[in-house]
Structure 1
Amino acid sequence: MATGDHLAELLVAAEEEFAEAGFRTGDFGPARELLAEALAEAEQAGDLAVRARAVDLLGMVAHYENIAKLMSGHRVPAPEIDAEERLFRQALAAWHAAGRRAATGQALFGLGLVYQVLHGDWASAMPYFWQALELVEADDVGADLYLRSEVHRHVGFYFLVVDEQPAEAIRHLQLSLDLREQLGDPRRIPSGQVALAQAELAAGNRDRAIKLLRAAVMQAREAGLLAQRIQDAERALREAEAASDAGTEHLDATGGSGTNTAG
């Protein structure tokens, strides 16, 4: 029977493979294999918390794979959207079964992503994002830094493209970037800089936006990110440099410049 340490090691390895795939390689196969192993061993050991976390991460893998389709200009088939939603709902139920309501933030955030990013339905997404925000901020010591950053990121997008409060968008997106910098993973910092720059540009802070975007382009290249991620940062920089002092960048309902929706 798997030990708790072995299960924890599987989850850590899976999270690293997930991050590497999402930001550098695009190959989610290794992450899926590790998560399938963790899930099977957790079920055998009766470890409800590890099972819930593995399903959480499988939901995020499905989401990033669906985002990759959007970024390449393809539509995400409805069955794949439904499959992603089922994973997050299963994770939510699994955390409740484990008696860990405080750990449901990832699953709630994932459900918000399904509605915001894949359905373009902010009204349905925000109740999940608000619940996730409440949970991760209530546990600001124990909550995963990247999850906290992501929740603030998407709440920031809401204030940027729906509620149109640039100052509040900047507040959340600055918090999101600060958390990424605290985490110290160079793969995840450029997307935080791009998101904050979009809010700064909407608020008329063109110089600040350009400074952030130049840093994002440089750091994305240095971190060896996926070509699409580097190109998104480069495109955002070109648009900001071309904008008039009074102009703002067009942002779509997914919360980014064009397709910049993932992480």
Structure 2
Amino acid sequence: MVVSEKTRKIVWAEAGGRCAICRGEVITPGTACDDPSVFGEEAHIVARSKGGPRSGNLDAASRHNHMNLLLLCSRHHKQIDDQPHHFTVERLREIKERHAAWVRHSLDERTAGGPRLIPDPAFPQPRVLDLITRGNPLWNMIKTSVAFEYALPDGLPDDDESLIVEFLDILRDYLDIAPELHSVRENRDAEKSLAHYIHDLAEKDFLVGAHVRHMLYVDGRGDPLAWPMLRVEVQPASHAVVTDQPGWPYADGPSEEPVGKG
């Protein structure tokens, strides 16, 4: 018994024509003289033969049912068969379910309306800010971002507010020119400039926190565009709460809701 044409169509439709592991498209565009190249493969979760990786006791009909198949690129199909102890039946079922949910979510968002930013389902969204004490980590965030948002306290003395606003303006300027800075010297000078402001803010008892949120720009017409967004906050040290990565305060232990700006 082989996989039916109808079953293959179901598998490809559920996967959105993308590999369930890397989520890359498994078909390349055609050329003026050649058809598109297809390198997607329907992989069995429970093996189709008794001696295959992840062999089980399913009957023939169940083995070739769409529930037991997931779409992979040829590279990842070979990987799961070569590494059956890692890619267990349970893990592959989880990968299939998670990918199908990602496809449904992506399609729903793309058809919901006009241009907007949505969280990228392929990345976990940060819940806390990283404490920034040096220029290098912040510069690396700037280089990977295409947008910028910020927060600063109200009611500050004029001198403190001027320093923070100057720092945030420098960040915005660097975001614009970062793609044009290629040499080690240019990058190092940018890191030193950021470190100078971070140091001056620390002397006034302000902490800098930052993270990058992975967003998608969707307009309902083309494929979503990656839109990593840098968020920077400057807050008085007395207002900060040190947390672990999920957001639980270190000093007090878990509370009802994670909080903090780590």
Whether TM-score is above 0.5 comes out as no
**TM-score (structure 1 length as normaliser):** 0.26
Q: Which has the larger radius of gyration?
A: 2
Bigger share in helix: 1
Bigger share in strand: 2
**TM-score (structure 2 length as normaliser):** 0.26
Higher RCO by CA contacts (8 Å cutoff, separation 6 or greater): 2
